[in-house]
């Protein structure tokens, strides 16, 4: 049995109001896994970071520790700011994002390599849809 050496994950995070009700969306096409989750009040940036934390934890869970250590993870996000911060191109200046940055840094150690790739919003439709479905579901529940 061959081990997977490359794993692509699409992530998105968003808030309505910025800050406002926030959710994350994650799509793992290789496994046809889709996750959307309401995460409470926050900003677009905190939601984007939380989506990546969720994605890396989920990847480790799906792959198992041994295979994860041999796997290159490619996180694809339409947030140019977050991709550039996590790639070391831009400095992280927002104190509220430091804890997520540290979590991602620690999670990266569980894999052979983690790359952060900026993609156009049009290529991130599934993860974006998961964010909006989670926000819509939360809004419906809040009305009752």
Q: Is residue 144 part of a domain?
A: no
CATH code of residue 57: 3.30.420.10
**Domain annotation covers residue 143:** no
Helices marked H in 1-144:
44-63, 65-68, 80-86, 98-108, 125-142
Per-residue pLDDT at 92 exceeds 90: yes
Alpha carbon distance 83, 86 (integer Å): 5
Structure pTM? 0.95
Q: Does 141 reside within a domain?
A: no
Q: Is residue 132 part of a domain?
A: yes
How many distinct structural domains can be found in the chain? 1
Q: How confident is the model over 32-86, as pLDDT tens digits?
A: 999 999 999 999 999 999 999 999 999 999 999 999 999 999 999 999 999 999 9
């Amino acid at each position: 049995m061959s081990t997977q050496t490359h794993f692509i994950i699409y992530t998105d995070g968003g808030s309505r109001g910025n800050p406002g009700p926030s959710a994350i969306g994650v799509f793992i096409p290789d496994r046809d896994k889709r996750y959307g989750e309401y995460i409470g009040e926050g900003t677009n940036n905190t939601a984007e970071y939380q989506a990546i934390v969720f994605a890396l934890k989920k990847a480790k869970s799906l792959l198992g520790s041994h295979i994860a250590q041999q796997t290159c993870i490619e996180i694809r996000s339409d947030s140019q700011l977050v991709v550039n911060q996590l790639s070391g191109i831009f400095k992280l200046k927002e104190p509220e994002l430091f804890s997520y940055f540290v979590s991602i840094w620690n999670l990266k150690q569980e894999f052979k390599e983690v790359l952060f790739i900026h993609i156009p919003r049009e290529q991130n439709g599934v993860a974006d849809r998961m964010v909006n479905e989670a926000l819509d579901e939360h809004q419906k529940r809040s009305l009752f």
